[in-house]
A and B are shown apart, each in its own frame.
Chain A
Amino acid sequence: VTETVSVAQAAWEGLRLVAAWPNLLHVLGATVLAMVVAFLPGVSGVTLMTLAIPFTLSWDPVRTLLVFGPFVGGATFMGSVTAILFNIPGAAPSAATALDGFPMARQGRAKTALGCAALASALGSSFGVLVLILLVPVMRPATLAFGPPELAMLGLWGLVTIAAVVRGSIVKGLAAAGLGLLASFVGLDPRTGELRYTLGLPYLRDGLSVVVVLLGMFAIAEVIQLVVDDRGPASGGPRAERLTGSLREGAAAVFRHFGLFLRSSVLGTVIGAIPAVGGTVASFLAYGHAVQTARTGRDRFGHGDIRGVLAPEAAHDAKDGGSLIATLALGVPGSEGAALLLAVLTLHGLVPGRDLMTTQLPLVFVLIWSLFLSNWITSILGLSAASLLARLSVLRARRLAPLILGLAALGAFAHAGRIEDVVLAMACGVLGYYMRKHGWPTIPFVMALVLGRLFETNLHLAVRLHRLGRAEFWTRPIALALFVLSVITAALPFLRRKRPAPGTGAG
């Protein structure tokens, strides 16, 4: 394609290319492959992409993009399946889904949680893709609009929402958040390059890996709990014949809380469009937002509230559309997967930027539609297997504990190939277990860890740019809006206290 075509024509042409025989088979095959990989903790589509790159050199660009759509973000729902069933996040963003998804499985409502996650994931992804299509003409300014002041304020807003997710002792909750912030400071000081809290270990120079910490705090802590409690089913819930809940109930929850779904999807898309922020921040911010804005039953969060499954799933999958914005429009990848996508595009002579977004737009749409289809295929296939998967949650704990431990250790090792990561995951597992045992909430800890680095790095940059006269905070509307949002979020609990809550029971 050599001439500039309109967005609508390009979208149609892209759809026609995807639907042409046997192109749909490529999407299906790549999706199934991505689903299998996404099911394994710590291993992601990035691994598949690395493996696939040598093969794609002899392929035409259309076939390559058809396959890379599912790899770059098409099967993320599968990572949530293990999060819901066993408290093992298949990828870091799925950890937020586990916060309420796993308690639901323990209550025998795994199918409900899976149904909700599958539909929220597919619809969230569709939302992201829709926004991507609508924003094609303004992709570049949209991505460039987020500089250090905006990102610092986004981080601040995320940190403020932590107050909303604290359960039980407010002192313990805030102390856990403080510990999480401290943990986020481990490694190189972004401003000066000095080492902080590394104990002289080169391993700690890059800071604590969020993926590894989450595997420890969730999966390994769960294994310890299983072994200590010596309970029957791994989920701690009822036996198979007593499984309650249904896929329909879970799917219906997406429409019952459609406002939350939309807000979470918008949040995911916006965060996806910002390079180097990522799905983990999107998921946890959406979770915090869900708790913060819940009018009823806020105490149910963390104990099996379906809104705690819906919000992170929608945000996580909507993020993929957004992250393509930065990669395709500016050649700036928003994630490791997007970086590999960029490498493949370059190898095929496709240069991200103006040309790709104008003269080669149909190829961009091949990628978009492939991603879109892949998310729906994943949800449909995942849902088909949901009944079977839900029964896994009632297997005997003693049989599953070694398997979960092995998978978590493998996931930690596969993340970067370092044995130290396995040790860190184990240490975090022990920490997570004791925190739970003594009533210290783990959610504020992990949220502060995820958001702390984003906030600190960008705060330093924003202050430095301000001092050098390059970033006037008061003249940046997005930064100001996020600051105002943070103030409102912080003030909400005090405003709510003045009027009694109308009751509980949502979800």
Chain B
Amino acid sequence: VTRPPLRPEPPGREPQPAPARRRGARVSRRRVLGALGIAGGALLSGPGAWAQPSGGSGPCVPLAGKRVRWIVPHAVGGGHDADSRLIEPFLERRLGAEVVVENVPGAGGIVGATLLRDARPNGLTMGLVNGPGLLLAALTGDSAAPNPATDFAILGRIGRTQHVWATGSASPLRSVDLLLREAEKRAILVGSVDVGGTSFASVALIAPLLGIAVEFVAGFPSSRSAALAAMRGDVDVVSFSLDVLQPMLDSGDLTPLLQISARPLSSTRVLDGVPVLGGAAGLAIRRARSLKRDVAETGADTATVIALIGAGRLIVAPRGLDAGLFRCLAQELRGVLTDPGFEAAARASKRALDVADADGARAEIELAARRGEKFIPILRDTIRRMRR
């Protein structure tokens, strides 16, 4: 669990339990899931979690006793869902409101994100969106995709999307150096689920930085199917989030080649000694030197690509929130994300955190959107070639 320096919540402000449910309220599967999520949170955070005093003071008073919809634009059981159910009990106690997690999957998160964008900005609708997925879709011209940099009030970030390049354990390309050497002779085959998504971009944008040619084999029904193709040797490389690849890296079925990050991604031992793309000693800079390219420009481009790919899981609300409400929600969420009980719960659930407050998360996504535009033609060209 990594956490950038955020100011801790001032002492004396205690989380509060949710109010009693309204009588006759609709009981749905989500509600049951939500209730069980609270129970799960309580289990994770220990018996003390229920002993907090109740109330509803502070600038979020208008939300006390209300029902807050927490939209997850992805299916039950995934990373966004797990993070949301971690946040839910802590946020409930802080707001004194009933927070109901609703999974609204579809179109790679666009359906749920659109619902979030179009909701009334009254603080009663929030959610957790996939920053890089939406940003890439919006920048490459998908008119249906909300742009996370401009279409939402960003309240914070819970974690980043951490990508790793990996190959099958039987592959002769056992290291990134061997891969670069092979790439001098032929194009590297990359397995991908979709065309234009985050995993696709994590190769399409990085390959030019490393000066290698790649050929995509896109259309695998799931990231794990693509990983199996790498195990079989059908493709040379796959690039997916560490969440997805971890079991196969741990079991030794896949070999990690490259961490798409400016610093080592995780404390997991399986990535020990695996090169990092960004940073002063990163592969991109070393490669720029050996290819006699502009090192400063390569460094800046690499940082932008890493920011674009790793924009993270963002906590957002519809744009147009009242300034007081925005401040209060941002403050309460910061309190949740820095709560030691929440961090312990995340550790117990093996969820990697990389939190940022509202200002930090917004600044990063806006920067990624602004600088990322430079790379969109590369992405569009690659997509066009795929469609030819």
The chain A residues found within 8 Å of chain B, CB to CB, are 43, 46-47, 49-51, 53-55, 57-58, 143-144, 147-148, 188, 190-194, 200, 202-203, 205-206, 275-276, 330-333, 336, 339-340, 342-343, 346-347, 351-356, 414, 416-418, 457, 460-461, 464-465, 468, 470-471
**A330 interface neighbour in B75, B215, B220, B231, Cβ under 8 Å:** B231
Residues A417 and B104 in contact, CB atoms below 8 Å apart: yes
**B252 interface neighbour in A190, A200, A339, A354, Cβ under 8 Å:** A354
Residues A192 and B106 in contact, CB atoms below 8 Å apart: no
Residues A205 and B110 in contact, CB atoms below 8 Å apart: yes
**Which B residue sits closest to A50, measured CB to CB?**
B76
- B247 at interface, CB cutoff 8 A: yes
Residues A331 and B251 in contact, CB atoms below 8 Å apart: yes
Residues A471 and B234 in contact, CB atoms below 8 Å apart: yes
Residues B32 and A51 in contact, CB atoms below 8 Å apart: yes
Q: A25 to chain B: closest CB distance in Å?
A: 21
**A468 interface neighbour in B41, B217, B247, Cβ under 8 Å:** B217
Q: B80 to chain A: closest CB distance in Å?
A: 13
- Chain B 333-372 per-residue mask, 1 if CB under 8 angstroms from chain A, else 0: 0000000000000001110000000000000000000000
CB neighbours (8 Å) of B33 from chain A are 47, 50-51
- B250 at interface, CB cutoff 8 A: yes
**A54 interface neighbour in B41, B102, B114, Cβ under 8 Å:** B41
- B320 at interface, CB cutoff 8 A: no
Taken together as a complex, chains A and B put the C-alpha atoms of A200 and B142 apart, in Å, by 11
**B215 interface neighbour in A147, A193, A340, A468, Cβ under 8 Å:** A468
Binding-face segment, B16-24, B156-164, B221-229: B221-229
Residues A330 and B228 in contact, CB atoms below 8 Å apart: yes
- Knowing A144-B231, A351-B247, A354-B252 touch, does A55 contact B103 (C-beta < 8 A)? no
Q: A72 to chain B: closest CB distance in Å?
A: 13
Residues B228 and A352 in contact, CB atoms below 8 Å apart: no
Taken together as a complex, chains A and B put the C-alpha atoms of A414 and B36 apart, in Å, by 17
Taken together as a complex, chains A and B put the C-alpha atoms of A190 and B196 apart, in Å, by 12
Q: A161 to chain B: closest CB distance in Å?
A: 22
- B3 at interface, CB cutoff 8 A: no
CB neighbours (8 Å) of A339 from chain B are 77
Residues B387 and A192 in contact, CB atoms below 8 Å apart: yes
Q: A271 to chain B: closest CB distance in Å?
A: 14
Residues A188 and B251 in contact, CB atoms below 8 Å apart: no
Taken together as a complex, chains A and B put the C-alpha atoms of A144 and B91 apart, in Å, by 44
- Knowing A192-B195, A354-B252 touch, does A332 contact B36 (C-beta < 8 A)? no
List 16 additional contacts besides A144-B232, A276-B221, A470-B233; criterion CB under 8 Å: A47-B76, A50-B33, A147-B229, A202-B111, A202-B144, A275-B225, A275-B228, A332-B225, A346-B247, A352-B247, A353-B253, A414-B29, A418-B104, A468-B215, A470-B217, A470-B235
Q: A340 to chain B: closest CB distance in Å?
A: 5
CB neighbours (8 Å) of A332 from chain B are 224-225, 227-228, 248
- Chain B 170-202 per-residue mask, 1 if CB under 8 angstroms from chain A, else 0: 000000000000000000010000111000000
CB neighbours (8 Å) of A49 from chain B are 77
**A205 interface neighbour in B103, B108, B247, Cβ under 8 Å:** B108
- B219 at interface, CB cutoff 8 A: yes
Q: A440 to chain B: closest CB distance in Å?
A: 30
What would be 8 A-B contacts, judged by CB atoms less than 8 Å apart? A47-B29, A202-B110, A353-B247, A353-B251, A417-B103, A461-B217, A461-B220, A464-B217
Q: B369 to chain A: closest CB distance in Å?
A: 21
CB neighbours (8 Å) of A470 from chain B are 189, 217, 233-235
**A465 interface neighbour in B44, B105, B217, Cβ under 8 Å:** B217
Residues B77 and A190 in contact, CB atoms below 8 Å apart: no
9 tightest Cβ-Cβ pairs between the two chains A and B: A54-B40, A353-B251, A193-B195, A190-B219, A331-B247, A205-B107, A192-B387, A202-B107, A351-B250
Taken together as a complex, chains A and B put the C-alpha atoms of A353 and B246 apart, in Å, by 12
**Which B residue sits closest to A421, measured CB to CB?**
B106
Size class of the B contact interface (CB-based, 8 Å): 35 or more
Taken together as a complex, chains A and B put the C-alpha atoms of A414 and B30 apart, in Å, by 9
Residues A53 and B232 in contact, CB atoms below 8 Å apart: no
Taken together as a complex, chains A and B put the C-alpha atoms of A327 and B199 apart, in Å, by 23
The chain B residues found within 8 Å of chain A, CB to CB, are 29-30, 32-33, 36-37, 39-41, 43-44, 75-77, 85, 102-108, 110-111, 114, 144, 189, 194-196, 215, 217-222, 224-225, 227-229, 231-235, 246-248, 250-253, 348-350, 383, 386-387
- Knowing A57-B348, A206-B106 touch, does A461 contact B219 (C-beta < 8 A)? yes
Q: B234 to chain A: closest CB distance in Å?
A: 5
Taken together as a complex, chains A and B put the C-alpha atoms of A193 and B114 apart, in Å, by 20
Residues B37 and A54 in contact, CB atoms below 8 Å apart: yes
**Which B residue sits closest to A333, measured CB to CB?**
B224
Residues B217 and A331 in contact, CB atoms below 8 Å apart: no
Q: A221 to chain B: closest CB distance in Å?
A: 25
Taken together as a complex, chains A and B put the C-alpha atoms of A468 and B233 apart, in Å, by 12
Residues B225 and A276 in contact, CB atoms below 8 Å apart: yes
- Knowing A55-B39, A353-B248, A471-B234 touch, does A193 contact B218 (C-beta < 8 A)? yes
Q: B253 to chain A: closest CB distance in Å?
A: 6
CB neighbours (8 Å) of B215 from chain A are 468
Residues B253 and A330 in contact, CB atoms below 8 Å apart: yes
Residues B221 and A53 in contact, CB atoms below 8 Å apart: no
**Which A residue sits closest to B168, measured CB to CB?**
A144
**Which B residue sits closest to A140, measured CB to CB?**
B253
Taken together as a complex, chains A and B put the C-alpha atoms of A261 and B177 apart, in Å, by 53
Taken together as a complex, chains A and B put the C-alpha atoms of A144 and B233 apart, in Å, by 10
Taken together as a complex, chains A and B put the C-alpha atoms of A173 and B227 apart, in Å, by 38
Residues A342 and B247 in contact, CB atoms below 8 Å apart: yes
CB neighbours (8 Å) of A46 from chain B are 76-77
Taken together as a complex, chains A and B put the C-alpha atoms of A340 and B220 apart, in Å, by 20
Q: B177 to chain A: closest CB distance in Å?
A: 23
Taken together as a complex, chains A and B put the C-alpha atoms of A148 and B228 apart, in Å, by 11
Taken together as a complex, chains A and B put the C-alpha atoms of A226 and B42 apart, in Å, by 48
| Most chain B CB atoms below 10 A, which of A49, A202, A457, A465 | A202
| Most chain A CB atoms below 10 A, which of B105, B106, B227 | B106
Taken together as a complex, chains A and B put the C-alpha atoms of A442 and B189 apart, in Å, by 41
**B221 interface neighbour in A352, A414, A457, A471, Cβ under 8 Å:** A457
- Knowing A51-B36, A202-B144, A203-B106 touch, does A460 contact B349 (C-beta < 8 A)? no
Taken together as a complex, chains A and B put the C-alpha atoms of A320 and B39 apart, in Å, by 30
CB neighbours (8 Å) of B106 from chain A are 202-203, 205-206, 416, 418
Residues A148 and B234 in contact, CB atoms below 8 Å apart: yes
| Most chain B CB atoms below 10 A, which of A46, A193, A275, A347 | A193
CB neighbours (8 Å) of B41 from chain A are 54
- Knowing A205-B110, A332-B228, A353-B253 touch, does A193 contact B386 (C-beta < 8 A)? yes
- Knowing A55-B43, A354-B252 touch, does A336 contact B77 (C-beta < 8 A)? yes
Taken together as a complex, chains A and B put the C-alpha atoms of A143 and B215 apart, in Å, by 26
Taken together as a complex, chains A and B put the C-alpha atoms of A36 and B125 apart, in Å, by 33
**Which B residue sits closest to A146, measured CB to CB?**
B228
Q: A191 to chain B: closest CB distance in Å?
A: 5
Residues A194 and B387 in contact, CB atoms below 8 Å apart: yes
Q: B347 to chain A: closest CB distance in Å?
A: 11
CB neighbours (8 Å) of A355 from chain B are 251
Q: A347 to chain B: closest CB distance in Å?
A: 6
CB neighbours (8 Å) of B102 from chain A are 417
Taken together as a complex, chains A and B put the C-alpha atoms of A261 and B30 apart, in Å, by 39
Residues B251 and A340 in contact, CB atoms below 8 Å apart: no
Q: A413 to chain B: closest CB distance in Å?
A: 9
| Most chain A CB atoms below 10 A, which of B105, B234, B252 | B234
CB neighbours (8 Å) of B229 from chain A are 147-148
Q: A503 to chain B: closest CB distance in Å?
A: 44
Taken together as a complex, chains A and B put the C-alpha atoms of A206 and B350 apart, in Å, by 29
CB neighbours (8 Å) of B386 from chain A are 191-193
Taken together as a complex, chains A and B put the C-alpha atoms of A396 and B106 apart, in Å, by 39
